[in-house]
Structure 1
Amino acid sequence: MAAGSSRGDPLALGPLPEPNPSSAEGRWGDHEPTAQILFKILRGHSDTVSSCHFCFEDTKILSCSYDRTLKLWDVEKGFPIQVFEEEHSAPISECSLTPDDRRVVTSSYDNTVKAWDMETGKRLWTVEHESIVTSCNISCDGRYVVSGSEKEYTIHVFDAVSATIVAHIQGHHKSTITSCCFDPGNRRVASVSYDKTIKLWDMITRSTSITINEGHSNAISDCCFTSDGHYLCTASWDKSLKIWDIKTEFQCHERVSLDEGHEGSVSSCIFSQDASLVVSGGYDKTIAIWDTDAGYKKLSLKGHGDWVTDVAISKTKKWILSASKDSTLRLWNIEKMDHIHSVTETGKARGSKIVQCEECEKPFFCLQCSDSEMITKCVFCRLSSPVRILPLPPSVPPDL
Structure 2
Amino acid sequence: MKLNYKFSNLCGTVYKRGNVIFTPDGNSVVSPVGNRVTVFDLVSNKSHTLPFENRKDIVRLALSPNGSLLITVDEDGRALLVNFQRQVVLHHFNFKTPVRDLVFSPDGRYLAVTHEKHVHVWRTPGFTLEFAPFILHRKYPGHYDDVVHLSWSPDSRFFLTGSKDMTARLYAVDPIEGFHGAVLAGHRDTVVGAWFSKDVNTVYTVGKDGALFEWNMKEEMEGEDESGMNGEEPATAKKRKVGDGERIRVKKWRTSARHYFNQNHAKVVSVAFHAASSLLVVGFTSGIFGIWELPDFTNIHTLSISQKKITATAINSSGEWLAFGSSALGQLLVWEWQSESYVLKQQGHHHEMSCLSYSQDGQFVITGGDDGKVKLWNTQTGFCFVTFTEHSAGVTAVEFAKQGQIVFSASLDGTVRAFDLIRYRNFRTFTTPTPVQFSCLAVDPSGEVVCAGSSDTFEIFVWSVQTGKLLDILTGHEGPVSHLTFSPSEGILASGSWDKTVRMWDVFGKDRAQEAMEHQAEVISIAYRPDGKVLAASTLDGQVSLWNVNEGKQVGSIEGRKHISGGRKADDRMTAANNSAGKHFTSICFTADGTGLIAGGNSKYVCIYDVPTKVLLKRFQISQNLSMDGMQEFLNSKNMTEAGPKDLIDDTGDLSDLEDRMDTSLPGVIKGDASLRKTRPLARTKGVRFSPTGRSWAAASTEGLLIYFLDETLLFDPFDLELDITPDAIMEALRDKEYLRSLVMSFRLGERPIIQKVYDNIPADEIMLIARELPVKYLERMLKFVITYMEASPRIQFNLMWATTLLKYHGRYLKDHSVEFASVLRGLQKGMSKMYEDLGKVCNDNTYTMGYLLNAHKQKLAEGPTEVVQMEEVSMDMVI
Q: 2:387 aligns with which of 76, 79, 83?
A: 83
2: CA distance between counterparts of 1:291 and 1:211? 26
1:196-345 equivalent positions in 2, closer than 5 A? 196-203=500-507, 204-213=509-518, 215=519, 217-248=520-551, 253-260=553-560, 261-263=563-565, 264-304=583-623, 306-324=683-701, 326=702, 328-335=704-711
Amino acid at match of 2:377: W
> CA 1:55–1:285 in structure 2 vs 1: closer, same or farther (change >3 Å)?
same
**1:107 aligns to what?**
410
1:27 aligns with 2:51: yes
Larger Rg: 2
User: Following the alignment from structure 2 to structure 1, what is the Cα–Cα distance between the partners of residues 374 and 617?
Assistant: 32
| Aligned counterpart, 1:95 | 398
Q: How does 1:98-137 map to 2 (within 5 A)?
A: 98-129=401-432, 130-137=435-442
* Alpha-carbon distance change, 160 to 144 in structure 1, aligned in 2, over 3 angstroms: same
Structure with the larger RCO, 1 or 2 (CA within 8 Å, 6+ apart): 1
1:148 alignment counterpart: 453
Shift of 1:280: 0.6
Identical pairs, percent: 19
In the alignment, the residues of structure 1 paired with residue 359 and residue 52 of structure 2 have an alpha-carbon distance, to the nearest angstrom, of 25
Residue identity matched to 1:316: T
Give the drift of 1:20.
4.0
- Unpaired segments ≥5 residues, structure 2: 1-17, 19-32, 39-48, 56-345, 566-582, 629-682, 717-880
Query: Residues 151 and 282 from structure 1, CA distance in 2 versus in 1: closer, same or farther, beyond 3 angstroms?
Result: closer
* SS state at 1:207 partner: coil
Mark the CA change 1:194 to 1:73 in structure 2 (over 3 Å): closer, same or farther. same
Distance in 1 separating the partners of 2:592 and 2:470: 31
Residue 136 of structure 1 and its aligned partner are, at CA, apart by: 0.8
Segments ≥4 residues shifted beyond 6 Å: 337-340
TM-score, length-normalised on structure 1? 0.71
**Runs (5+) with no aligned partner, structure 1:** 1-17, 32-41, 341-400
**TM-score, length-scaled by structure 2:** 0.33
Superposed displacement of residue 210, structure 1:
2.8
Distance 2:593 2:407 in 1: 24
Q: Tell me, what secondary structure is at the counterpart of 2:396?
A: strand
Deviation at 1:152, TM superposition (A): 2.4
Q: CA RMSD in A?
A: 2.6
**1:26 CA drift (Å):** 3.2
1:307 Cα deviation from its structure 2 partner: 1.8
Q: CA deviation at 1:317?
A: 2.0
Separation in 1, partners of 2:539, 2:51: 31
Of 474, 477, 482, the residue aligned with 1:169 is 474
> 1:247 is paired with a residue of what secondary structure?
coil
Are the aligned partners of 1:238 and 1:266 in contact in 2 as well (CA < 8 Å)? no
Q: Residues 242 and 336 from structure 1, CA distance in 2 versus in 1: closer, same or farther, beyond 3 angstroms?
A: farther
- State how far apart, in whole Å, the 2-side matches of 1:257 and 1:243 are: 6
Equivalent pair of 2:360/2:402 in contact (CA under 8 Å): no
Report the CA distance between 1:49 and its aligned residue: 1.2
Provide the C-alpha distance between the structure 2 equivalents of 1:318 and 1:97, rounded to a whole number of angstroms. 19
Instruction: Provide the rounded CA distance (Å) in 2 between the counterparts of 1:183 and 1:151.
Output: 25
Letter aligned with residue 226 of structure 1:
R
Question: How far apart, in 1, do the equivalents of 2:446 and 2:531 lie?
Answer: 14
Q: Which amino acid aligns with 1:297?
A: L
Structure 1 residues 147-156 or 304-313, which shifts more? 304-313
Superposed displacement of residue 185, structure 1: 3.0
Query: How big is the shift at 1:175?
Result: 1.0
User: For residue 329 of structure 1, what is the amino acid of its counterpart?
Assistant: L
1-structure distance, mates of 2:443, 2:386: 21
Aligned-pair distance for 1:299?
Answer: 1.0
Report what 2:375 is aligned to: 71
Q: CA deviation at 1:22?
A: 4.0
